[in-house]
């Protein structure tokens, strides 16, 4: 008879009220000491462990906590410190934060997306370092849980192959030798954990869900043969997630105790039916969606578990989330303003763990033992499915009218750019920013007062206008060519539209970590999405009255809104994406009608949404292109469409970026130290482009010389007539003084390059 036990793969770090974020930022502002930071975060960490203990989770993860990022933690514990920081104390928390955030002397390490999620990790730099074990973090946290709470936790490690594959600073031909250098360190970590009494150890290898080559899967086999030969007593759960394992038949034969598979985002049943599952191994089945917030259909989940059990001979099956719960909010118990119909249909981290316990009990004791819980869940899901949120038939009719025809602009780029240049009359190397400007504590505090009803709508609007006016004046003084209104009325670039579009709902405390201490509150797509009226026109038009220079209209694109929201599962994702595109088209046309000549539709999430399996890319690209074009193609040829992307492996998505047919694209490159520029040496790109010339995720102010060097490097490959000069991303998280100083240096660098180019032409 099969026994079922419960497990969790990782718990949110941030706390129910973002206590983690507040502690971090207090430390960065020197308001608390390092010891106080460690004490505050320890209290939070123990509270999270205790909560899981009280929920009766059998295998509670430890070591999933981080001060910034778990990949950085892993690299730091192995002494992987970029050369520019190696003169600092290698065990100091300030060195750790310097790598993540930069300091006055050196730029931060590159930051990019964790597979296809909206979580960012710090990219380890393996050049100029020899890995060695500096600290066994997992052991520290294992002992803490055991000593403080009596929890025999499950240490969580980023696996060696995933760690190296996500790193930079080495030739791809040296992958095996680099991984080999880490194997003794992992062996030491595992030996120390076993000696300390750890029964289970979770080793995450999500890279197994990607398209590994024959040599790479052979490397995985070699790694785990070596590790288990040296530490045979270690009960390793080799954990995969986010996708179907590509070499299933070889992965399940790896010499580990358990294999963790994602049954939500991966289709593993066919593989199990074809190849079987080893009787001597334990199957850790990811049954509950760890990346979405909707209540599970527990009846169907129980049926799935029964089907899994029927095609395996495993004596023990672990029931768990599909991935770490890092990607969802902590608990819905603090939500007081969400419509009860929606709230009843939600399941955040704590509720997901409760769902896992229901499934474990239902499989061990029979459905009758959890009949009331199943009925409650089913009722909540049914009421939401039948609610007015999901009955907007007009949207479906409008999408039918678009049909399958290609959506495209009225004129090709070569013709419309001439009209745009005549209308806008911009200089060579035009300067702009990406959209948002600093949201000070005063801005955020005033918004909070308004939301609480402490000030009137009129008072709030007057404040927003005063901030907009102030920053229009600052931009004009800096002599920026294309201005932005600053987005002071907006919280998050997706949540703002979630508050305005029909079919969305927003939470009060539904925070998740994005990068560092930056937390976002993804809106809920609860039903059919439609335009309810102008969302951005008033603020943009007001800003335009303050200046003779063009002010960009600022929107978030359909792909990003979809990827950065929690999306209901009653319709195909791409259908909902088209619904968002249709709603945004109406906003774009409203801006154009109001006289806005430049409209930016940002798609920073386009790359991150790519499926891990490359075979699924064409369908994704087609859908992304279609939704973006639905949003933007109806404008006049003279209206200039911009878009912006972050952290994109540009070479991988070059064709789809071109097919979006935006007139100007801005893209992050400074944290990757200009590596994306190489793409233009092998690809022709005829539209205009701004490669971010300085990193906004770090508080340091780059010098004129540093920015000019970035511009000069780009202009060796990109035609000067195509190039725009801008920061990497929006400036919302930066302070006023550092922002003005950085922009002043950017404008000066642009002026110097402009003069040099002009002199060269005239000479």
Over residues 565-602, the pLDDT tens digits come to 999 999 999 999 999 999 999 999 999 999 999 999 99
Least confident stretch, 21-35, 359-373, 748-762: 748-762
pLDDT given at position 729: 87
pLDDT given at position 391: 87
| Cα angle value 383/387/388 (rounded, 5°) | 175
DSSP structure string for 236-273: EEEE--SS--TTHHHHTTSSSSEEEEESSSS--HHHHH
Q: Is 697 designated active site?
A: yes
Q: Among residues of the chain, what percentage have pLDDT more than 70?
A: 97
| C-alpha pair distances (Å), 357 with each of 11, 153, 267, 293, 301 | 16, 17, 23, 17, 12
Cα torsion angle, 73, 75, 80, 83, sign: negative
Residue 120, pLDDT > 80, answer: yes
- Spatial strand order of the sheet with 566-567 comes to 502-505, 524-530, 566-567
Q: CATH fold of 3-385, please? A: TIM Barrel (3.20.20)
Annotation: binding site: 18-21, 113, 118, 434-436, 487, 518-519, 564, 602, 608, 644, 646, 668, 729
pLDDT given at position 676: 62
Rounded Cα distance between 131 and 178, Å, is 9
Domain layout of the chain by residue ranges: 3-385, 414-489+536-762
Range with top average pLDDT, 131-145, 433-447, 599-613: 131-145
557 in Cβ contact with 631 (< 8 Å): yes
pLDDT band at 609 (very low <50, low <70, confident <90, very high): confident
Give the chain's length.
763
Q: Which residues, 6+ apart, have CB-to-CB distance to 7 below 8 Å?
A: 57, 58, 59, 154, 237, 284, 318, 319, 320, 356
Residue 246, pLDDT > 50, answer: yes
36 in Cβ contact with 183 (< 8 Å): no
Over residues 342-364, the pLDDT tens digits come to 999 999 999 999 999 999 999 99
Least confident stretch, 85-99, 291-305, 705-719: 705-719
Q: Is 588 exposed, middle or buried (CB count within 10 Å of its CB: 0-12, 13-18, 19+)? A: buried
**174 alpha-carbon distance from chain centroid:** 29
Mean pLDDT for the stretch of residues 657-668: 90
pLDDT band at 673 (very low <50, low <70, confident <90, very high): very low
| Alpha helices for 197-289 (secondary structure H) | 214-230, 248-251, 269-275
Over residues 485-540, the pLDDT tens digits come to 999 999 888 999 999 999 999 999 999 999 999 999 999 999 999 999 999 999 99
DSSP state of 290: S
Q: Among residues of the chain, what percentage have pLDDT more than 90?
A: 85
211 in Cβ contact with 246 (< 8 Å): yes
In DSSP terms, which residues pair with 288 in a beta bridge?
321
Over residues 157-195, the pLDDT tens digits come to 999 999 999 999 999 899 999 999 999 999 999 999 999
Rounded Cα distance between 472 and 458, Å, is 21
> What CATH number has the domain spanning 414-489+536-762?
3.20.20.210
Over residues 45-59, the pLDDT tens digits come to 999 999 999 999 999
pLDDT band at 652 (very low <50, low <70, confident <90, very high): confident
Q: What is the pTM of this model?
A: 0.90
Question: What is the largest distance, in Å, between two alpha-carbon atoms of the chain?
Answer: 87
In DSSP terms, which residues pair with 643 in a beta bridge?
665
Name the phi and psi angles at 759, rounded to 5: -65, -40
Mean pLDDT for the stretch of residues 709-724: 91
Residue 443, pLDDT > 70, answer: yes
Over residues 59-84, the pLDDT tens digits come to 999 999 999 999 999 999 999 999 99
525 in Cβ contact with 450 (< 8 Å): no
Residue 225, pLDDT > 90, answer: yes
541 in Cβ contact with 596 (< 8 Å): yes
Rounded Cα distance between 428 and 547, Å, is 20
Residue 648, pLDDT > 60, answer: no
Least confident stretch, 164-168, 420-424, 677-681: 677-681
Q: Which residues, 6+ apart, have CB-to-CB distance to 511 below 8 Å?
A: 14, 18, 329, 330, 519, 520, 521
Rounded mean pLDDT of the chain?
94
Residue 404, pLDDT > 80, answer: no
| Cα angle value 504/461/511 (rounded, 5°) | 40
Name the phi and psi angles at 13, rounded to 5: -85, -20
pLDDT given at position 646: 75
pLDDT band at 229 (very low <50, low <70, confident <90, very high): very high
The active-site residue, picked from 247, 268, 485, 697, is 697
Q: Do domains 3-385 and 414-489+536-762 have the same CATH topology?
A: yes
Cα torsion angle, 138, 141, 144, 145, sign: negative
Least confident stretch, 208-217, 516-525, 710-719, 747-756: 710-719
């Amino acid at each position: 008879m099969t026994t079922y036990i419960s497990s969790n793969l990782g718990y949110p770090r941030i706390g129910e009220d973002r206590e983690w974020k507040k502690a971090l930022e207090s430390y960065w502002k020197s308001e608390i000491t390092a010891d106080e930071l460690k004490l505050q975060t320890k209290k939070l960490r123990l509270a999270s462990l205790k909560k899981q203990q009280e929920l009766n989770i059998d295998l509670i993860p430890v070591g999933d906590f981080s001060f910034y990022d778990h990949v950085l933690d892993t690299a730091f514990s192995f002494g992987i410190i970029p050369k520019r920081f190696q003169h600092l104390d290698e065990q100091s928390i300030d060195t750790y934060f310097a790598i993540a955030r930069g300091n006055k002397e050196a730029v931060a390490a590159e930051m990019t997306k964790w597979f296809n999620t909206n979580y960012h990790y710090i990219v380890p730099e393996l050049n100029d370092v020899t890995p060695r074990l500096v600290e066994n973090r997992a052991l520290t946290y294992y002992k803490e849980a055991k000593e403080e709470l009596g929890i025999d936790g499950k240490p969580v490690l980023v696996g060696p192959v995933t760690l190296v594959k996500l790193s930079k600073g080495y030739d791809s031909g040296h992958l095996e030798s680099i991984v080999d250098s880490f194997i003794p360190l992992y062996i030491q970590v595992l030996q120390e954990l076993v000696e300390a009494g750890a029964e289970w150890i979770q080793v995450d290898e999500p890279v197994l869900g990607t398209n590994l080559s024959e040599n790479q899967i052979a490397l995985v086999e070699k790694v785990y043969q070596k590790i288990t030969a040296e530490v045979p007593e270690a009960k390793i759960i080799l954990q995969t997630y986010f996708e179907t394992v590509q070499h299933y038949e070889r992965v399940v034969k790896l010499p580990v105790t358990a294999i963790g598979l994602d049954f939500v985002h991966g289709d593993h049943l066919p593989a199990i039916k074809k190849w079987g599952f080893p009787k001597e191994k334990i199957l850790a089945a990811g049954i509950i969606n760890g990346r979405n917030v909707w209540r599970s259909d527990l009846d169907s989940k129980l049926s799935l578990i029964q089907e899994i059990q029927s095609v395996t001979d495993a004596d023990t099956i672990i029931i768990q989330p599909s991935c770490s719960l890092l990607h969802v909010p902590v608990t819905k118990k603090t939500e007081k303003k969400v419509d009860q119909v929606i709230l009843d249909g939600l399941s955040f981290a704590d509720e997901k763990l409760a769902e896992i316990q229901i499934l474990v009990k239902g499989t061990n004791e029979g459905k009758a033992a959890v009949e009331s819980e199943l009925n409650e869940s089913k009722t909540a899901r049914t009421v939401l499915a039948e609610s007015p949120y999901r009955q907007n038939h007009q949207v479906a009719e409008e999408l039918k009218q678009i049909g399958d025809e290609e959506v495209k602009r009225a004129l090709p780029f070569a013709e419309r750019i001439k009209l745009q240049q005549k209308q806008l009359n911009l200089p060579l190397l035009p300067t702009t920013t990406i959209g948002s400007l600093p949201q000070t504590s005063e801005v955020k505090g005033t918004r909070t007062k308004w939301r609480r009803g402490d000030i009137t709508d009129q008072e709030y609007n007057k404040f927003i206008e005063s901030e907009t006016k102030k920053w229009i004046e600052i931009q004009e003084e800096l002599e920026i060519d294309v201005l932005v209104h600053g987005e002071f009325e907006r919280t998050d670039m997706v949540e703002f539209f979630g508050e305005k579009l029909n079919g969305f709902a927003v939470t009060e405390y539904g925070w998740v970590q994005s990068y560092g201490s930056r937390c976002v509150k993804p809106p809920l797509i609860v039903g059919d999405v439609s335009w309810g009226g102008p969302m951005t026109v008033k603020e943009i038009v007001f800003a335009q009255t303050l200046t003779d220079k063009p002010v960009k209209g600022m929107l978030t694109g359909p792909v990003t809104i979809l990827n950065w929201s929690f999306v209901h599962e009653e319709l195909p994702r791409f259908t909902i994406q088209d619904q968002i595109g249709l709603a945004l088209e109406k906003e774009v046309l409203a801006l154009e009608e109001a006289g806005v000549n430049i409209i930016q539709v940002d798609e920073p999430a386009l790359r991150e949404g790519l499926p891990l399996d490359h075979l699924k890319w064409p369908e994704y690209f087609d859908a992304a292109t279609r939704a973006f074009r639905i949003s933007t193609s109806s404008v006049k040829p003279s209206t200039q469409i911009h878009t912006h992307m972050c952290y994109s492996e540009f070479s991988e998505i070059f064709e789809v970026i071109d097919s979006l047919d935006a007139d100007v694209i801005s893209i992050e490159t400074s944290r990757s130290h200009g590596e994306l520029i190489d793409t233009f040496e092998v690809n022709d790109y005829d539209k205009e482009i701004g490669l971010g010339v300085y990193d906004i995720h770090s508080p340091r102010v780059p010098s004129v010389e540093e920015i000019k060097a970035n511009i000069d490097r780009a202009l060796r490959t990109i035609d000067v007539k195509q190039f725009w000069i801008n920061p990497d991303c929006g400036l919302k998280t930066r302070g006023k003084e550092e922002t003005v100083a950085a922009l002043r240096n950017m404008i000066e660098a642009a002026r110097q390059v402009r003069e040099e180019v002009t002199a060269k032409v005239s000479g």
